[in-house]
A and B are shown apart, each in its own frame.
Chain A
Amino acid sequence: MLLNATDIHKTFQTADGPFAVLRGVSLTLAAGDTLALTGESGSGKSTLLHLIGGLDVPDQGQIMLDGVDIAALDDTGRAALRRGTVGVVFQQFNLIPSLRVIDNIAFQARLAGQHDAAWCAELADRMGLKPQLRKYPEQLSGGQQQRVAIARTLAPKPKLVLADEPTGNLDEATAEVVLSLMLDLVSETQAGLLMVTHSDRLAGRMVRRLHLARGQVA
């Protein structure tokens, strides 16, 4: 099993006191599998994604990713995990504004020490970004920026792709094109895909679906 998360708990301190975002969530994901994580705002979807991506640590529970317990890793260990094993597609793209498109696509692969120029070129080509390679992110539309972000995530060929509402900022038609491309590429690389979405239509494109409500699997 690529991912095995068991009994995950996470609580944040707020002005009104402690707020339990996740209360004993468990899930599994195999290589090549796709899973949609749905739920209302505040149900804990993004928090769960961040914990699986090693961006945060759970208060309780175990997350085994490719045989490694993420919760047991220190900061440096989790950073190494984010560089190579996991790729995250953010809703806000999070591109580096001062780098050109071509450098943004290659960036994470370079960080992971797995840069493959031919693969990056193919990703750019299939994402329809070839004419934009010399441009800066601010010169692209939202859809184009999200395609750059997806290409950047897939460039080091991660074992697990986490996507946090990757089409949330795009119109319906563009969202459809972007999602199709992402699914094709994930399928080809045999990566697992875990996608947070509000959209039933997009969730229907995944193999499996997990619905969260008030921090628990519904």
Chain B
Amino acid sequence: MTGAVFAALTSHWWRNPLQLFTLLAGLALATALWSGVQAVNAEARASYDAAAATLGEGQFDQLLAEGGGPIPQATYIALRRAGWLVSPVVEGRLNGVRIVGQDPLTAPGGLGPVTLDQGADIGAFLSGQGQIFGTQEALDQLGDIDADPVLSPDVAPGTVITDIGVAQRLLNQPDQINRLLIAPRQPLIQTALEQAAPDLRRQPAQGGSDIGRLTGSFHLNLTAFGLLSFAVGIFIVNGAIGLAFEQRRPVVRTLRALGVPLPRLIALMAVELMLMALLAGVAGVMLGYLIASLLLPDVAATLRGLYGADVAGTLQLRPVWWLSGLAIAMGGTAMAAGGAFWRLARMPLLAGAAPRALAMAAGRRAVLQGVAAIILLIAALLLGITGNGLLAGFAMLACLLIGAALALPLLLDRVLALLQLRAGEVRAAWFWADTRQQLPGLSLALMALLLAMAANVGVSTMVSSFRLTFTGFLDQRLASELYVTARTPQEAAALQSYVAPKVEAILPIQSAEAQIAGFPTEVFGARDHATYREGWTFLTAAPTPWDDLAAGEAILINEQLARRSGLAVGDIVTLGATPLTIAATYGDYGNPIGQVIITEPLFARLYPSETPLRFGLRMDPAAVPDLVQSLAKDLSLPPDQTINQARIKQFSLDVFDRTFTVTTALNVLTLAVAGFAILMSLLTLAAMRVPQLAPAWAMGMTRAQLGRFELIRAVLLAVLTAMAALPLGLALAWALLAIVNVAAFGWKLPMFLFPLDYLRLLVFALIAAALAALWPAWRLSRTPPSDLLKVFSNER
């Protein structure tokens, strides 16, 4: 029995290959977008983890030289003798590759990602020539060196690991160390650091990778996008499964009437769907791999430029990633088919006993859908007003998007009913009535379009707002035309004397670390100058913040500190023993920790040992190249000690544009998926439409007219959907900027509107809808009269 029933069920797909294609393609696209984004994220995260493991950053306390220079090897030996369990690290760059030299016998984390089973022979590693571990890319880039290369794919991209002696030899740093890692367990008795190594300072463990935190925002946005794309795909799958079940309803009833038990039937249909999900999942994962490998170079460049994070530019096929891709394909199918199975299980065997059961059930579903939509939208509103934290932010987003998607068909139905009432001409009245009748079949595709467009509006508003804010922020922060860094206090003094007659102003950049309201904070001492007074904008401020600051009575704090500590303008904080009133809060995007600004004299009084080594120079931008040259010639200041502001800004904007490449690509893909959903829905509905259109044809409308009406209908529904998508997208952007971003990173981004972008999106959506409707409309206009006549000859 099982074989016969399974063959009967699957035969449906062979007779309806377009429906099969819709289902498989929808699921494959959904899986591809999701797993593509996840692959990019996984690759980047693996790179950060490898970097953290390789460099020991964030995991262990470290000892660094006070002035930032190298540490003599003798200091290391002295510390070991004084009872300190420390391990030396030598690092530097050769041929663009970061070389990390470690001592495998003392390193608290071992050799990071390199293990003995990867070919690390401790003897060879420590021997004269030594071994060097890295990815193929890094080893190739390093070129011919005097050490045995060993391929190790888990080492951070652009980095190689070797023995400390080999690193010193390759980097030409004999007897020098860059930092010392402190083992977590230390002997109870040891000489104090100040006595054993007075020139070293201890840097505490950071409890996690800085890079991971900084790039979190970027990945969060990518993940949100991947999730939305997946949701759009699942709408397609849901639509395809719903239509397939609807079409197979008579067959299911016949099978049951012929003696197939319902549980067996449901089980076989579930097996059938899961097989398809598996097939589509495999195709989706492969497609996702392709998308990821196309996106990854841009993402890698973005992260490298924006956060200094090295991410491999090539993709690895990680088992966790492709298994999760398959799991999400199958889970998504189960989710999309849940409703259809529920209806199937409750379907009466004898429809004749309740001929209006289906219509009544559809009516009840609409009421339930409306109630669910209202509840979800109210929940979103309440979460938006009262919610706090990342979870509340995402819950609000989910409620908002699902609620709006559920409300869309009901909203469209009301609008169409109104238009039908107002239609004067008979053909117009038929058109609106017919559109309403088609709405249930198209509603899932329209929901997918709504989500795709809302995601487009939301994410592009967020990214563009971020760009605008960040550009303004760069203008504010990088106001000086040239930045110079001296290597010693003596050089700093000489530098100031030298440039004073050549520039309009010298703005020292000096900072120290402090605890404010219990939070680690950077304290900056700023000179009272028009650059700050005129260029800076504040999020909140007292009436005269700069005057208050200049008087030495006030302090400016960044948004992160204000949010974390609950401090606001007018509150008083104590720095050293000095009470200071908060005069303003300012945006400080990208900075994970608190920051404050005090006036220069107060900084000098509080931190007398800090001498400014960095300076911002205000000058004629055209004179910058000459000054850089003369600094090199007259003061022997190397070019890498000077930073041209225009170059930094251009670089930052380039980075942004590459970031936009990723988001734009995902935007276009999501919209294409929604267009595909409309196309497939229209094609699937086309066969079911003939009985509805044949009477209109018989009563005198031409096939060409009917085809035109189909096209106009699709475009019109897309316009109505776009009108609903705009406010939804803006609400999405607001939620991302004002709730999710604040909860995740501690700063709120202002929201700007971009009407021209929205107009362009509307045009794209209309083109997508028109293109999707073109083929079905053309097919309809070419329907042979014999097919239309069949409707009447088959009437019973």
Contacts and interface: CB of A to CB of B under 8 A. Distances in A.
A98 B259 contact: no
Q: For chain B, give the interface size range.
A: 20 to 34
Nearest to B349: A55
A112 B258 CA distance: 9
A48 to B, nearest CB: 13
Contact of A98 (B11, B256, B261, B349): B11
B254 interface: yes
B350 A98 contact: no
Task: Assign chain A's interface to a size class.
Answer: 20 to 34
A98 B250 CA distance: 12
Interface in A55-103: 55-56, 75-76, 79-84, 88, 90, 92, 94-99, 103
A145 to B, nearest CB: 11
Interface stretch (B1-9, B142-150, B165-173, B761-769): B1-9
B3, B253, B256, B259 — most chain A CB neighbours (10 Å): B259
B257 interface: yes
A207 B352 CA distance: 29
B258 A75 contact: no
Given A96-B251, A98-B8, A107 B349 contact: no
Nearest to A94: B254
Contacts of B262: 75, 79
A55 B258 contact: no
B205 interface: no
Given A55-B349, A107-B8, A83 B258 contact: yes
A76 B353 CA distance: 21
B257 A76 contact: no
A162 B7 CA distance: 26
B338 to A, nearest CB: 22
A111 B353 contact: no
A111 B15 contact: no
Contacts of B256: 79
A201 B589 CA distance: 90
B789 interface: no
Nearest to B250: A94
A120 to B, nearest CB: 13
A79 B4 contact: no
A180 interface: no
Given A46-B352, A83-B1, A111-B1, A55 B14 contact: no
Contact of B11 (A92, A96, A110): A96
A111 B11 contact: no
B11 A99 contact: yes
Given A56-B349, A96-B251, A112 B8 contact: no
Interface string A125-151: 000000000001000000000000000
B251 A111 contact: no
A98 B257 contact: no
B484 to A, nearest CB: 78
Interface in A158-198: 169
A38 interface: no
B251 A83 contact: no
Nearest to B251: A96
A95 B349 CA distance: 16
Given A96-B8, A96-B251, A97-B251, A108 B15 contact: no
B610 to A, nearest CB: 82
A88 B257 contact: yes
A113 B261 CA distance: 15
A83 B350 contact: no
A50 interface: yes
Contacts of B643: none
B633 interface: no
Contacts of B12: 98
B185 interface: no
B350 A55 contact: yes
B250 A112 contact: no
A206 to B, nearest CB: 23
B550 to A, nearest CB: 84
A98 B251 contact: yes
Contacts of A46: 352
A103 B9 CA distance: 13
A111 B796 contact: no
B424 to A, nearest CB: 36
B363 to A, nearest CB: 14
B442 to A, nearest CB: 24
Contacts of B251: 96-98
A111 B261 CA distance: 11
Interface in B14-29: 14-16
B261 A99 contact: no
Contacts of A75: 261-262
Interface in B252-276: 253-263
Contacts of A110: 1, 3-4
Contact of B258 (A12, A50, A98, A111): A111
A111 B260 contact: yes
Contacts of A80: 259
B8 A94 contact: no
A101 to B, nearest CB: 13
A82 B1 contact: no
A56 B7 CA distance: 27
A106 to B, nearest CB: 8
B353 A82 contact: no
A79 B259 CA distance: 4
A97 B794 CA distance: 15
20 contacts: A12-B353, A55-B349, A55-B350, A79-B260, A80-B259, A82-B258, A83-B1, A83-B259, A84-B259, A96-B11, A97-B251, A98-B8, A98-B11, A99-B11, A110-B1, A110-B3, A111-B4, A111-B258, A111-B259, A136-B15
Interface of A: 12, 46, 50, 55-56, 75-76, 79-84, 88, 90, 92, 94-99, 103, 107-108, 110-113, 136, 169
Interface of B: 1, 3-5, 7-8, 11-12, 14-16, 250-251, 253-263, 349-350, 352-353, 796
Given A75-B261, A92-B796, A95-B254, 7 more contacts: A50-B350, A55-B350, A56-B350, A82-B259, A94-B250, A98-B14, A111-B259
What 8 pairs across the A-B complex have the smallest Cβ distances?
A83-B259, A82-B259, A110-B4, A98-B11, A98-B15, A94-B254, A79-B261, A98-B12
